Amino acid sequence: MPMFDYVLKGGHVIDPANGIDGPMDVGVAGRSIAAVTKDIPAESAGRVVKVNGWYVTPGLIDIHAHATGFSGAMFPEEMCFPYGVTTMVDCGGSGWRTFDEFNRDVVQKSEVRVFGLLNIVGGGMRGDVEQDVSDMDAELTAECISRRGDVLVGVKVAHFQGPGWESVDRGVRAAELSGTFCLIDQNAKPTRPFSEMLLEHMRPGDGVTHCFGYGKPMIGNDGKVKPHYIEARNRGIKFDVGHGNNSFSFSMAKPAFDQGFPPDTLSTDMHRMSLHTSRAVMTEVMSKFLAMGMPIAEVVRRSTLEPARQINHLELGTLTPGAPADISVLEFVDRPAGVSDSGPTGYRVMKTAGRLICQLTIKDGQIKFDYDGSTKDDWAETPSTDLSIP
């Protein structure tokens, strides 16, 4: 009886939680990681999967994507498994009034591990109700999160157009009451400047998403990261990419990166409108940071360990033996390429030496995506069957 169901052999493992960045084999038994070590003997494996030349990382965690509520929402499978994502967080599609629908139609039906941030608006991310301050109830939102902590990992505040701080203050209050964090997407207004939000209305651990969007410019006219962003980071505010269709500009991200202000977490803001034109899928978002000069180990850290920390699920985002066998195998395709940004800067391109693509996505030990058929037997060895049926 082999010790492992299969072994991923010959890859370059990057597991930031355990400080691993080098050649290792990974053994999987049942639903769990069983071993990460050099040279696991082939005899101990039911199957050996050769992953030479590829990166083996924890299953990617996308903490900002859309699977419910929002008009562009997509079912998780199609936007996650082909891009190495094993865990996604629906980012505020449902509120406390619509959580049951989200749970029934998405969480229970998806094979992707789906968590949610609950919208501070009871009716969720539906355009017609998002401006209704009377439906922003911190207590009821917190109560729903506390009751369904198996799915809900925080609060989302988004799209409020009013002049004041109601949505932010109530969202942060709901996070405080439920012991979670609040992720915020609000554009700055003269009546509610970003500096005040970052420094006075948010708590350490709360986050801003679309952090490199033009609607909330991090870079000032002098080409520098604005001082209140640096001050906010120093007080523990988190910065999430939330790429999307309208929210990621190289003209913000590149100077910020060059000035030592990388994002804490990479995420896609995945929805129908962002899928093709700006390629806001997880492997492409990672490739954009590689193109800007971020080392691969840091790109992986911000797509695995850091999002796991943010949602307080440290059993994920790691290859520690005993952890769920959620694994991504990524190939760096070494060929001149271009990666695109999004939004008001007009879908501009950054030329790059290559890009990451997903070769294998494994969730709970099961192969969910296998681009080159690495886990499969050759077609010529198909067993013969009786084909005489007319």
Chain residues binding Zn ion by CB under 5 A are: 91, 269
Question: Which is nearer to Zn ion, 302 or 368 (by Cβ)?
Answer: 302
Question: Which is nearer to Zn ion, 318 or 342 (by Cβ)?
Answer: 342
**Residue 77 Cβ vs Zn ion, minimum distance, rounded to whole Å:** 19
For residues 216 and 208, give the distance between their C-alpha atoms in angstroms, rounded to a whole number. 10
Inter-CA distances, 15 with 18, 133, 159, 233, Å:
6, 43, 36, 25
For residues 325 and 321, give the distance between their C-alpha atoms in angstroms, rounded to a whole number. 9
Question: Which is nearer to Zn ion, 159 or 348 (by Cβ)?
Answer: 159
Question: Which is nearer to Zn ion, 56 or 91 (by Cβ)?
Answer: 91
Question: Which is nearer to Zn ion, 271 or 355 (by Cβ)?
Answer: 271
**Residue 119 Cβ vs Zn ion, minimum distance, rounded to whole Å:** 11
Radius of gyration of the chain (CA): 21
Question: Which is nearer to Zn ion, 343 or 365 (by Cβ)?
Answer: 343
**Residue nearest Zn ion by beta-carbon distance:** 269
Three-state secondary structure along the chain? Answer: CCCECEEEEEEEEEEHHHCEEEEEEEEEECCEEEEEECCCCHHHECCEEECCCCEEEECEEEEEECCCCCCCCCCHHHHHHHHCEEEEEEECCCCCCCHHHHHHHHHCCCCCEEEEEEECECCCCCCCCCCCHHHECHHHHHHHHHHCCCCEEEEEEECCCCCCCHHHHHHHHHHHHHCCEEEEECCCECCECHHHHHHHHCCCCCEECCCCCCCCCCECCCCCECHHHHHHHHCCCEEECCCCCCCCCHHHHHHHHHCCCCCCECCCCECHHHCCCCCCCHHHHHHHHHHHCCCHHHHHHCCCHHHHHHCCCCCCCCCCCCCECCEEEEEEECCCEEEECCHHHCCCEEEECCEEEEEEEEECCEEEEECCCCCCCCHHHCCCCCCCCC
Question: Which is nearer to Zn ion, 135 or 269 (by Cβ)?
Answer: 269
**Residue 13 Cβ vs Zn ion, minimum distance, rounded to whole Å:** 31
For residues 335 and 318, give the distance between their C-alpha atoms in angstroms, rounded to a whole number. 29
Beta bridge partners of 88: 62, 114
**Residue 306 Cβ vs Zn ion, minimum distance, rounded to whole Å:** 18
Question: Which is nearer to Zn ion, 269 or 341 (by Cβ)?
Answer: 269
| Residue closest to 290 by CA, chosen among 332, 248, 251 | 332
**Residue 300 Cβ vs Zn ion, minimum distance, rounded to whole Å:** 23
**Residue 210 Cβ vs Zn ion, minimum distance, rounded to whole Å:** 8
**Residue 209 Cβ vs Zn ion, minimum distance, rounded to whole Å:** 7
Q: Residue with structure tokens 């962002």?
A: 274
Question: Which is nearer to Zn ion, 175 or 323 (by Cβ)?
Answer: 175
**Residue 186 Cβ vs Zn ion, minimum distance, rounded to whole Å:** 12
**Residue 78 Cβ vs Zn ion, minimum distance, rounded to whole Å:** 17
**Residue 242 Cβ vs Zn ion, minimum distance, rounded to whole Å:** 6
Question: Which is nearer to Zn ion, 158 or 299 (by Cβ)?
Answer: 158
